[in-house]
Amino acid sequence: MREFFREQKEQVIESLRKSAPAEKGKERTATPKL
């Protein structure tokens, strides 16, 4: 299950990075709660 969540997070971060490059620095400090 852990791998699945990690995969999901990777995709979310990737999509965020594409839509908003400014969020790149914020995504490191803010960890999404799953």
Q: What is the pLDDT of residues 12-27, one digit of tens each?
A: 988 888 876 555 555 5
Q: Output 11 or 17, whichever has higher pLDDT.
A: 11
pLDDT confidence bin for 9, thresholds 50/70/90: very high
Q: What residues contact residue 32 under an 8 Å CB cut-off, 6+ apart?
A: 9, 12
CB 27 within 8 A of CB 13: yes
Q: How far is CA 26 from CA 6, 8, 11, 32, in A?
A: 18, 18, 16, 11
